[in-house]
Amino acid sequence: MEAGIIGLSYVGKTTLFNALTALGVGTAAGAKPNIGMVKVPDPRLALLNKFIETQKIVPADIQLVDVAGLVSGSSQGKGTGNKFLAHLRNVDALLHVVRCFEDPDVPHIHGSVDPVRDVEEVETELAIADLEVVENSIKNTERKARTGDKEQKGRLVLLQKCADALGQGTPISAAGLTPEQLHELKSYALLTAKPVLYVANISENDLSAQSPLVKKLDAYAAKRGILVVSTCCKLEAELSELPESERGEMLAGMGLSEPALAVVARAAYKVLGLQSFFTAGPKEIKAWTIRIGAPAPEAAGVIHSDIQRGFIRAEIYSVSDLEKHKTEAAIKHAGKMRVEGKDYVMQDGDVCHFLFNV
């Protein structure tokens, strides 16, 4: 799964990327984005390791794509234009970095800081780009629909509904489409159909995220049903460069229990519609990524296609079961080790043993 980091120029996109990935890259420019993996922090892994000795712990991860900053007119080719948009079309979700701090030493491209204005500028460019794709698709579909093809006629109605919504400034995600209709639009890779997370880039003096700028963004996002997480990208980037042994002391000095980026990573995971299940043994304790709502055989297939193909059943318990009973043997003795079949829908945090035969 991939998430694209977007926003206006000089809002902290690459700083966020570096803080999450610890790659230390320069600002993305032109046709070449920055790409890196981010580990999804999960305290349940350490809890499992408290009761199960292992050689290594492997958290879940997400691939991040940091593209060059958007400028007004990108949808018409200004700035990096279509190169910028092409990279976004391939991602599964968007992390929209929004500046929510004042700093005379960091000029804003518009000369003032207004998070809602900035968000609307970016989203307008995405909508214009989508409208161009939809209008071109309508022309092609109209020709096919003239032959009497019912499928093309239905698609034409859907595309026209999208064009109407985009023309009114409504993103595809808020156009009232059914899950089936959104699935049909997948091949068009529409930018405004992608799930979005707003990342408020806050000041070092506002770590509680209570400034008027953050509250303005929160209010705007609440009306649209979009999640907002706040982080000081500069501070988090500095924190990520410290040795692990020194991070705790710095966090404690700021009154924090964990880096704010841990919250960002988990929120991105949620926006992507993902959850984790675990396998735990002497060789490794690992978090595996699956879509929310995945059945047990699909989860088994994430580990290996042979396990999915030969799936018989899954033995499952929860992390809280292990915390209470201390060992898997005790969990079985207490009758808490569940045996689930092919129709079982995986739950976040399931600890699994898959039985299969090929």
Which residues does 222 contact at the CB level (< 8 Å), separation at least 6? Answer: none
**CATH 3.40.50.300 residue window(s) in the chain:** 2-270
Contact 227, 221 (CB under 8 A): yes
Least confident span in 14-18, 260-264, 342-346: 260-264
- What's the predicted TM-score (pTM) here? 0.83
pLDDT in tens, 312-337: 999 999 999 999 999 999 999 999 99
Architecture of domain 2-270: 3-Layer(aba) Sandwich (3.40)
| Residue pLDDT, tens place only, 15-25 | 888 888 877 66
Residue 139 corresponds to which tokens in the numbers above?
């022309």
Specify the pLDDT at position 28.
58
Please determine, for residue 242, whether its predicted confidence score (pLDDT) is greater than 90: no
Mean pLDDT along residues 217-236: 91
* All CATH 3.10.20.30 domain ranges in the chain, comma separated: 293-356
One of 3.40.50.720, 1.10.10.10, 3.10.20.30, 3.40.50.150 is the CATH number of 293-356, namely 3.10.20.30
Q: Are 18 and 24 in contact (CB under 8 A)?
A: yes
